[in-house]
Amino acid sequence: MHKPPHSPPAPPDEQGNPLEAYFKANRQGPGIWKWQHYFEIFQRHFHGFVDQPVTVLEIGVYSGGSLGLWKSYFGDQCTVYGVDIEKDCEIYNDAGVKIFIGDQGDRHFWKSFKAQTPKLDIVIDDGSHRPEHQQLSFHELLPHLNPGGVYLCEDLHHTDNMFALYLHQLALNLNACHKWQDNPDTPERRLVTQTTDVQALINSIHFYPYVGVVECNRQKVTELVAPKRGSQWQPFFE
């Protein structure tokens, strides 16, 4: 089993960003259409999956070039799933690339998709860009992510984008506090609180221009603990 990252900055690479390099070199053949600043975001959140048996879904295939980008980046062990509403995208079925034709705004489509695919490590939503579709897809696919999985939604345009607002609200929920236990005599478990469902599942939520990223915990987190370490304490703060 691979060890997914929790978005540490990508290590410096003398070659630069391999995703961006692939994009820039892609002058012939199937087209890729990405905002240029996305490549650094992809590298930051995805680099720990490189050369692992990773399952990747991209919603929105268009001219097929991004499927090759993911295959090249993640390596031979990866499987890329592509979803598009346009039947013509079936031509991009290939070794290690499986295309599903359907509407990302249709829950029945996702039920059928999930029945035919293993759990996913990475989802990239670059489909209709409609906030209601982005939210529905997120709800359908978050439970279909492996532990440590990463959900990235592109093109959250405009300051009133409803899916971006939803993700911001979800991020605020990471700060929710169940009542915590106060254990003055057990410094190793000085404060302990049970996690909420959101904290149990989600490790972190990240925002960039037009992009939101949700990273799942590698294992379910059931409690948050604030131990105390040391032997000398000031009297003024308990």
Q: Residues with catalytic annotation?
A: 129
Residue with tokens 């990475």: 122
Which range touches ligand SAM (CB under 6 A), out of 59-67, 71-79, 140-148, 203-211? Answer: 59-67
Element (DSSP H or E) covering residue 79: strand 79-84
Q: Which is nearer to ligand SAM, 26 or 173 (CB)?
A: 26
Taking the complex as a whole, the smallest distance from the CB of residue 173 to ligand SAM amounts, in Å, to 27
**Nearest by Cα to 126 from 24, 12, 201, 32:** 32
Region 69-98 residues binding ligand SAM, contact defined as CB under 6 A: 83-86
Phi–psi pair at 222, nearest 5 degrees:
-100, -25
Instruction: Give the one residue of 32, 198, 200, 224 binding ligand SAM; rule: CB under 6 A.
Output: 32
Q: Which is nearer to ligand SAM, 57 or 202 (CB)?
A: 57
Using CB under 6 A as the binding rule, whether residue 33 contacts ligand SAM is answered as yes
| # residues near ligand SAM by CB under 6 A | 21
Q: List CB contacts of 82: < 8 A, sequence separation 6 or more.
A: 57, 58, 61, 64, 67, 89, 92, 97, 98, 99, 100
Q: Which is nearer to ligand SAM, 106 or 223 (CB)?
A: 106
Helices within 149-204 (DSSP H only): 162-173, 197-201
Taking the complex as a whole, the smallest distance from the CB of residue 53 to ligand SAM amounts, in Å, to 23
Taking the complex as a whole, the smallest distance from the CB of residue 13 to ligand SAM amounts, in Å, to 22
Instruction: Give the one residue of 62, 73, 74, 100 binding ligand SAM; rule: CB under 6 A.
Output: 62
Taking the complex as a whole, the smallest distance from the CB of residue 77 to ligand SAM amounts, in Å, to 22
Instruction: Give the one residue of 45, 71, 133, 190 binding ligand SAM; rule: CB under 6 A.
Output: 133
Using CB under 6 A as the binding rule, whether residue 105 contacts ligand SAM is answered as yes
Helix, strand, or coil here: 115? helix
CB 126 within 8 A of CB 63: no
Element (DSSP H or E) covering residue 88: none
In whole angstroms, give the CA distance from residue 35 to residue 209.
Answer: 10
**Nearest by Cα to 206 from 155, 175, 170, 176:** 170
Region 195-234 residues binding ligand SAM, contact defined as CB under 6 A: none
Interface residues with ligand SAM (CB under 6 A)?
32-34, 58-62, 65-66, 83-86, 103-105, 126-128, 133
